[in-house]
A = this chain, B = another copy of it.
Amino acid sequence: MPQPEAPSLPVRIARWSVFESRHAGPSAGNPFVDVDFRAVFRHGNRRIPVTGFYDGEGVYVLRFMPDATGEWSYETSSDARELDGLCGSFVCVDAEKGVHGPVRLGKKFHFAYEDGTIYRPFGTTAYAWTSQEAELEEKTLATLAASPFNKMRMCVFPKHYDYNANEPPLYAFEPLSDASAPAVWTASDGAGNKLSGTAAFRWDFSRLNPAFFRHLEKRVAELGELGIEADLILFHPYDRWGFSDMGREADERYLGYLVARLAAYRNVWWSMANEYDLMPWKSMNDWDNLFRFLQSRDPHDHLRSIHNCRPFYDHGKPWITHCSVQHNDVSLATDWRKLYGKPVVIDECRYEGNLPRRWGNITGQEMTNRFWEGFARGTYVGHGETFLSPDDVIWWAKGGSLRGESVARIVFLRKILEEGPPAGLDTASLGSNAHAVSGVDGNYFLVFYGMAQPAYQTLSLPEGSFEVDIIDVWNMTVTPAPGLYSGECRIELPGTVLMALRITRRG
């Protein structure tokens, strides 16, 4: 006969925070494979299926991010008797101050938090920042806290590449029990120097390493506290460990585990791959299947994208929420918006730095130019920094600190946009010149002239009267043009590069 439960205060979870419940279960055999553990969460008539995960030491965990206030309950099911039919409940209360929910698609071509607040991605890239020593990771977080960035592109797996020869402290899988003698790897650091080392690269892909994921989710949560979206790259080709080529079964087991652990973090985005096209051993069908699997498993429907090196994935496919693009010519973003009908984020337009490779040696001025070019087209551009360093700590891969000249200009750009209407920018035209122009409802326009140095410009403004500010995007000054402007008009400009106009209706 069941005992009456002692009355207790209900658990209170803030909206869009992580609810977690932990349950004892079997630890024999291989719990990652042998035990099925899931639950259904309920709120009113809503029923949301959620997959649990094994956290090691006989502990099974459910995580969930409630998106509505009020009472929630859940009930588990499992093929392990002690995990089956467990019930629980909690009360979801208002979101914490400053929490707006996960980022969703907003009005066409743009993003918004779930509460409707506009979200403009100002992203940066540090692919392997969570595969470094603690001190460096903490430094990266401190750098981000003082930066304009609100999105971080980051890989789940470690990175093997020029300037990235180090082993990570933790791995996502357990080594195969017969892999006691680590394999030897050799590689090049891109400067013509041969590197070699040892790596236990024969893994038991059926045994995940909870410590690895605990570390990853700690970093994701810390980004969340800084208001930074974690654009998590699930697969990438820069790999000496074999994580990019595990086979479909292991890929899905890994993805399912990752989703079960991380989907409850509101700041997670799923980037299926970095440079998917450099992994020819995965077919287009494989990528499609992985997206279908991911979409079916994620109870919180996070944003989904996939990043190219050269050919684009078909961003028109239904599971793609937005275009995550690598391309050198940011001005094409207008066409991609039209083509795919989705927000465009040029996450990689080359990096500010001084590496020998073309993708990693543009100037701060050029990075600034590309940011403005993309944003003034109503699209989004991502940052990265690649200055050589004697210790090989380069922001784009390992994080650390920033030394480029574009960051201050990105702060300024973000401020300019935040001073404007709280809406995404539509493409617009103010006359015949093919510069980057966008606006909001005919009341606000942003025009950018890039590396051109016109001495004046003629504009065709709508009816009414407008204030025009001349923005020097490099020197970060805003100078009002005298008087008000209307219809066909001429604006005198300083005849120097990197000029923008902000045009605001006043009548």
Contacts and interface: CB of A to CB of B under 8 A. Distances in A.
Interface of A: 190-192, 353-358, 361-363, 366, 388, 433-435, 449, 451-458, 488-490, 495, 497
A458 B456 CA distance: 44
Most chain B C-beta atoms within 10 Å of own C-beta, residue among A358, A362, A452, A488: A452
Contacts of A495: 354
A433 B162 CA distance: 14
Given A363-B451, A366-B451, A497-B363, A191 B356 contact: no
How many copies of this protein are present in the complex? 2
9 contacts: A192-B489, A354-B454, A355-B454, A355-B455, A357-B433, A361-B449, A361-B454, A362-B451, A362-B452
Given A361-B452, A362-B453, A458 B356 contact: yes
A144 to B, nearest CB: 25
Contacts of A489: 192
Nearest to A357: B433
Contacts of A388: 455-456
B363 A458 contact: no
B490 A191 contact: yes
A493 to B, nearest CB: 8
B363 A453 contact: yes
A485 to B, nearest CB: 12
A356 B454 contact: yes
Given A366-B451, A388-B455, A453-B363, A358 B435 contact: yes
Nearest to A497: B363
Contact of A488 (B190, B192, B449, B454): B192
A457 to B, nearest CB: 5
Nearest to A460: B192
Contact of A356 (B353, B358, B362, B457): B457
Nearest to A490: B192
A190 to B, nearest CB: 8
